Structure formats: structure tokens, C-alpha cells
């Protein structure tokens, strides 16, 4: 049970700005208990999606403080990101799993006030597919 909590926490952290690679821990758990892959996939997907919801929430509510000095992005950077998101649309959230830019996409989803249910559905699909690919590659490489 502890390993599932650690996987959830690691996957959650990996979706935020914290430097964590949940795929490595997932692969290690698959070595030890390969028959549990559906549960490991579910826990990793839920944790990573949960971390993205935190990013969404931060994007949605921290925007009120964009004029403060400590705000992490300049106004021009925010406007550029919002234009980019408007151009590619909400479907770009399917790519929130990308190691570069994926976390920013989830933050921008909050800035753009994407409905939470739609956000969760799109992000979970992308992240679930990513973890499924990790599991398939781990199966090929490790077994």
C-alpha cells in the first residue's frame, strides 16, 4: 500500500514544478509486481492528473496577482501564452504529458478558465496514454 501512495505522490509532484520523474518509480514497481500494472497505471494517472489540477487552480487564481512583483511571469509572456492557447485551443491539453511545456499548458488552462471537468478529462486522457506507453516499454525492456 505504501508503494501506491508513494507512486501517487511522485506522480502528483511530477506534474508540478517539482523535479520528480514518476516513470522511473513506476518502472521499478513494475519490476517487483508486473501483474499489478492496471492498478499502478491508474494510481500514476490519477496522481499526475491531480498535480495538473493544482497547476490549473494556480493559473486560475494567481492571475489576480499578476501585477505584483513576485508574480512568476511578465504580462507580455502571459499574453503570448494566452494567444498561443487560443490558437491551438483546449485540445492542446491532451499534450499536457509532454516533459517540456506540459506543466505550463496546465497552468495556462487555468489562466484561460477552462472548465474543470473538460480540463480533467483531456489531461487524464493524455497522461493515461503516456503511462500506458511507459508500461508497455517497461514490459518490452524489462521482461
pLDDT at position 77, please?
80
CA-based Rg of the chain, rounded to a whole angstrom?
Answer: 16
pLDDT value at position 18? Answer: 80
* Residue at grid coordinates 517540456: 100
Q: What is the predicted pLDDT for the residue at 86?
A: 83
Q: What's the domain count of the chain?
A: 1
* pLDDT for 38: 97
Query: Grid coordinates standing for 137?
Result: 516499454
Cell numbers for 25: 518509480
Ordered per-residue pLDDT tens for the chain, 143 residues: 899 999 999 999 999 978 788 999 999 999 999 999 999 999 999 999 999 999 999 999 887 788 888 777 778 887 887 888 888 889 999 999 988 888 889 998 998 889 999 999 999 999 999 999 999 998 887 66
Distant-in-sequence, close-in-space partners of 128: CB < 8 Å, separation ≥ 6 = 41, 45
User: How would you classify residue 89: left for phi > 0, otherwise alpha for psi between -120 and 50, otherwise beta?
Assistant: left
- DSSP 3-state of 33: coil
Q: Are 26 and 135 in contact (CB under 8 A)?
A: yes
Within the chain, residue ranges assigned H as helices are 2-14, 22-32, 37-62, 75-88, 102-111, 116-142
Q: List the domain range (segments joined by +) for residue 46.
A: 2-142
pLDDT of res. 115: 96
Residue among 8, 91, 101, 77 at smallest CA distance from 48: 8
pTM over 0.95, yes/no: no
Q: Give the separation between CA 121 and CA 112, rounded to whole angstroms.
A: 16
Amino acid at each position: 500500500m505504501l508503494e501506491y501512495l508513494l507512486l501517487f505522490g511522485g506522480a502528483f509532484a511530477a506534474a508540478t514544478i517539482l523535479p520528480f520523474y514518476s516513470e522511473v518509480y513506476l518502472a521499478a514497481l513494475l519490476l517487483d509486481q508486473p501483474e499489478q500494472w492496471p492498478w499502478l497505471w491508474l494510481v500514476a494517472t490519477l496522481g499526475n492528473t491531480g498535480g495538473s489540477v493544482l497547476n490549473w487552480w494556480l493559473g486560475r487564481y494567481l492571475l489576480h496577482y499578476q501585477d505584483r512583483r513576485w508574480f512568476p511571469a511578465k504580462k507580455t509572456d502571459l499574453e503570448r501564452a494566452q494567444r498561443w492557447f487560443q490558437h491551438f485551443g483546449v485540445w492542446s491539453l491532451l499534450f499536457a504529458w509532454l516533459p517540456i511545456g506540459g506543466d505550463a499548458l496546465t497552468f495556462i488552462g487555468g489562466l484561460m478558465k477552462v472548465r474543470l471537468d473538460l480540463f480533467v478529462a483531456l489531461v487524464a486522457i493524455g497522461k493515461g496514454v503516456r503511462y500506458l506507453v511507459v508500461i508497455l516499454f517497461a514490459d518490452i525492456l524489462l521482461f
